[in-house]
Amino acid sequence: MSDFTSDFWHYYVAGLTLISILACLVLLWISGSVKVKARDDNTTGHIWDEDLREQDNPLPKWWVYLFIITVVFGLVYGLLYPMFGAKPGLLGWSQAGQYQAEKQSNLDAAAPLFAAFSEKSVEQLAQDPAAMAIGSRLYMNFCVQCHAADARGGLTFPNLADKDWQWGGEPAAIQNAIANGLMGVMPPMAAAVGSPNDVLNLAHYVLSLSDSPHDTVRAAEGRGNWASCAACHGADGTGNTAMGAPNLTDNIWLHGWGVDAVVKSINEGITNVMPGQSHLLNEQQIHVLTAYVWSLSNTAAAK
């Protein structure tokens, strides 16, 4: 990787760009100075399509001047803007700088509106059509890629429109998840459980907690190994929001349903990550987005 971050590439790009521009002037000079021996009728002897004859006429003056102006423009542009490798240009312009300036301009324009929103609770914002309209747009920009347009998620991506909250569905928990992100880790438990047959029995017991299709005999055998799981999921399997341990009794399966999926989870473990958005959203935006996400599973209170 050091090859791609060294100064060599800066000089390579800058040199190649400058040489390309200057080569245009050299090409113009050659085309104007090199003479072709023409015939008496001012043709070169080159014929295309039987009757198209090439003449030895000089380049039009307007074309030459326009060519020179273009080259000069390229050189001036390269001095003012970052065109020659890592050189920033005399104007100090950059894509990142322009993005930050436009972003700040938009935030400043919306500041009075967000200031009014910040004085309201999440529950109050959920009943504010203007706040929900903005929250919906924030959701579509920052959340829809994982949780889908209808907020019902998918495999490994939680459904935000139901009452099943792995880390808690209170406004404070949602706001923390949006701002700081979450990481749920289930370690591989096969070694603690025992043999592959023991793992299979435990998987059937896990399925029995939600009354999902299972082998009752194997489930009875697997119950003895439940202690390996109870530390996180609770003695009754209802989970622990403080640890992000999901409820195994509600028949909602984030990482796949059925014996094979449960066995795989026990054998291999699970790691699920939600990135924090505080580096992209300010506190006021997170507050509004929190209200919108909360409203998805509290539709009665949001009306």
> What's the one-letter identity of residue 74?
G
Q: What is the pLDDT of residue 131?
A: 96
Q: What is the pLDDT of residue 3?
A: 56
Residue closest to 165 by CA, chosen among 270, 296, 269? 296
Looking at domain 101-181+275-302, its CATH architecture is Orthogonal Bundle (1.10)
Tens digit of each residue's pLDDT, the chain (303 residues)? 455 667 888 888 889 999 999 999 898 888 877 776 767 777 777 778 877 877 777 788 899 999 999 999 999 999 999 988 888 889 999 999 999 999 899 889 988 989 999 999 999 999 999 999 999 999 999 999 999 999 999 999 999 999 999 999 999 999 999 999 999 999 999 999 999 999 999 999 999 999 999 999 999 999 999 999 999 999 999 999 999 999 999 999 999 999 999 999 999 999 999 999 999 999 999 999 999 999 999 987 666
Q: What is the pLDDT of residue 2?
A: 53
Q: Return the structure tokens found at 62.
A: 């307007």
Same fold, 101-181+275-302 and 185-274: yes
Q: What is the pLDDT of residue 13?
A: 87
User: Are the beta carbons of 199 and 190 closer than 8 angstroms?
Assistant: yes
- Domain 185-274 -> CATH class: mainly alpha
Residue that has been written with the tokens 């909360």 in this structure:
294
Q: Rounded to whole angstroms, how far apart are CA atoms 140 and 102?
A: 20
Q: What is the pLDDT of residue 125?
A: 96
Residue closest to 208 by CA, chosen among 171, 249, 172? 249
Task: Note every long-range contact of 16-24, with CB atoms under 8 Å and residues 24 or more positions apart, other chains counting.
Answer: 17/78, 17/83, 17/84, 17/85, 18/78, 18/84, 21/71, 21/74, 21/75, 21/78, 24/67, 24/70, 24/71
Q: Any bridge partners for residue 271, and if so which?
A: 185
Which pairing describes strands 52-55 and 43-48: parallel, antiparallel, or unpaired?
Answer: antiparallel
**Within 13 Å and on the Cβ side, how many CA atoms surround 81?**
10
Q: Rounded to whole angstroms, how far apart are CA atoms 68 and 300?
A: 70
Domain boundaries, the chain: 2-80, 101-181+275-302, 185-274
- In 3-state terms, what secondary structure has residue 295? helix
Q: What is the pLDDT of residue 81?
A: 92
Q: What is the pLDDT of residue 223?
A: 96
